[in-house]
Amino acid sequence: MPNETRIADIVEPEVFAPYIMERSLNQNRFFQAGVIENSQQISNLLAGGGRIFTLPYWKDLTGSTDVPSETDETAINNISSDKMLARRQIREKAWGANDLSAAIAGSDPYAAIGERVSGFWAKADENALLYTLRGVFAGNVKDNSSDLVVDISVASGTDTTSANKISAKKSIEAVMKMGDAFNEIVAVAVHSVVYQTLIENDLIDYIADSEGKLTIPTYMGLRLIVSDNLPVITGSGIATKYHSYFFKSGAVGYGQNSGGAIIPVEVARKPGIGGGTDVLYTRKQFALHPLGFSWEMASDTGITPTDANLMHEDSWNRVYEKKNTGVVAVISNG
């Protein structure tokens, strides 16, 4: 009788960890659309210590031009800088052999486990992004008079009409929140319910991928991401509200650290559980930072922010001029 295959026989942590990290990014639709970009600066900062670290930036040059004079020296103006604060996040997930038994039974168990684990972390990154954006826009409504939000929703379901659902007109209104930087918008993310509205109104076009094999949905010429992880606001007696986000390229910076005290992948054997259980531990140390916003959570004393922390209205503060930020939102009833 052949010996039973164990996770430790399949997974070599120092090889498996970078495989998972790279594969999870490749599976992330926001990376694929260019919304999230790798930031070496953030990765380098994560290699150091601390929960919060500084991302300095140069402010735009402002003011009018000067008229030259034959007698007076031209005034010399300064270029000023400021900073954004980014937050280190640490998350983990473990699986026992029973959960992975189907993967271990596959013809290529290493790849089968890797595909499942990297798929899980791709979804986890997407959730972290969307929790963050929910907090960014909650703060924008509270502190900036909704100057990056177009809200066409109503509270009562009985009052909902087509005017409260997404439309080309309201999408244009949202994009124009960027002023003359509107043409930098490249992608839009919507819930499947909102996507249905767009289809019913014949607003979706399809283009072939670079190999001509797959069709990619677009809306108003923008790359379309459909995800049911986008914020859905529900409650007793109120109409469901859906968030849709319009992004610039590189709207979110991403960095991760696979070294240091946090071990990204470990395999352990627990002999006292169920007659012996193999466990695969995975951990991720990263930062997802929205362009133009600073982490400002006043009560931030934990090891890592929770999902509730990320989406809180007081966690993020805009430090860029609004048209230089990377994302705007439409809130609708469908």
pTM to 2 decimal places: 0.86
What Å distances lie between residue 137 and 76, 144, 198, 266, 293, CA to CA? 38, 9, 23, 37, 11
Mean pLDDT for the chain overall: 87
* Mean predicted confidence (pLDDT) in 106-111: 65
Lowest-confidence segment of 7-11, 73-77, 174-178, 300-304 by average pLDDT: 7-11
- Nearest one of 285, 294, 244 to 136, comparing CA atoms: 294
Which DSSP letter does residue 300 get?
Answer: -
Are 124 and 297 in contact by the 8 Å Cβ rule? The answer is: no
Q: What is the pLDDT of residues 52-102, one digit of tens each?
A: 999 886 667 677 788 888 788 888 877 766 789 999 999 999 987 655 665
Are 330 and 175 in contact by the 8 Å Cβ rule? The answer is: no
* Mean predicted confidence (pLDDT) in 184-204: 97
